[in-house]
Structure 1
């Protein structure tokens, strides 16, 4: 098992919920290259570990989920290195988005720049009432580089996404909820409890089917894939699974299903 300098890796073996906490509190959990690399390694470890069934991604402290990228590190990049940094971030965030194990962001404060992009790569986003979201890169003469131009547009629509990215405006949690950027807003003290309860409800369902829902929805946004055909293939695959047999039998027998993910 890998060790991490900028992440806390906490697996509850009873529930199967892994909590990954960005842990650079003196930097408001700002993303640097090392932290993005560690997120990728932690995600791969989680995907390979059968004990991990679902993942919560959050930040340490009560001020920031991730307050952005490490500006000092960015300022030193050449054009070729900047392109590689963008590609590395996109690769890691796509790993989150494409995970068959559900990943939920518990946004406990500022989610700006790369932090907003990280939250958007997760399948669901739960925001504390003090959370703030934004893509302020144009203030630095930059644009979002870790998938933000694509995912923000997918989540809230072209017009509003352009407005937020072009003005660099931040939005409060309640506005993020209205826009569809987050799924729920809760008091900060209840954030992790609510997120765990929501994820536990998801984990009570058939794991194979959960993963195939994620894959089919992602196919809608992938130019190289046909969403309807992906859905049909996944639908058919479910019929060959033990979970389908168990789910239908449990329904007919009026009892809770005992899914195995097979």
Structure 2
């Protein structure tokens, strides 16, 4: 550098995070969540594929809505348990996990292709999410199904889970997920919904947890301890009464903190 040249500090690198939400979870005459309102704030959607929720009509409508909004489309396969909304564990084998995952990805992809769009990621729903997060065998089966269908698809899984380890072993790109509206336990897992404090009801509390994870790699547990945690995508649940306002506040808060939002690149 010449003496008469003024040195300027390089601009800080822009930080980005993906905001995802579960989507298209109605079926038949029933609708759930706030899909229209959430699309204004999220960058990725996880669309129910007909097992825990969804049907051919809702799947088509959800795909078309997401495509028009420019949101990245993901398949959200779950266990075949409508009565329990896919949140009850079932004694499924690894082969069954492989088959039900492959089946649901293919079903949603048909609608994505018909809409002139494509799938970007796959994220297990509910009990299947937690089961593949704990079991290496079930995680391998899930990732093998994704890989067999389309190896370039991303797998969304919880930070530190067996699902992300399986993705790494099998050469599929895993995306670490954190939760804006759920509290954590000391082992990094989510506080069970049956326990007090499992869900964060304050938008400010949710924002601080999210920013803390993104900027510092830390989160406070429901018991007050601090744990190490990292994430590239933030899950927002869309079935609460204030889901849209919650999402808007989170996105605006991230913007104010200098954190941009976009799907994983």
Same fold (TM over 0.5): no
Query: Quick one: higher RCO (CA 8 Å, sep 6+), 1 or 2?
Result: 2
Please indicate the TM-score interval, normalised by the length of the shorter structure. Answer: 0.3 to 0.5
* TM-score normalised by the chain length of structure 1: 0.34
Greater helix percent: which structure? 1
Tell me the TM-score normalised to structure 2 length. 0.34
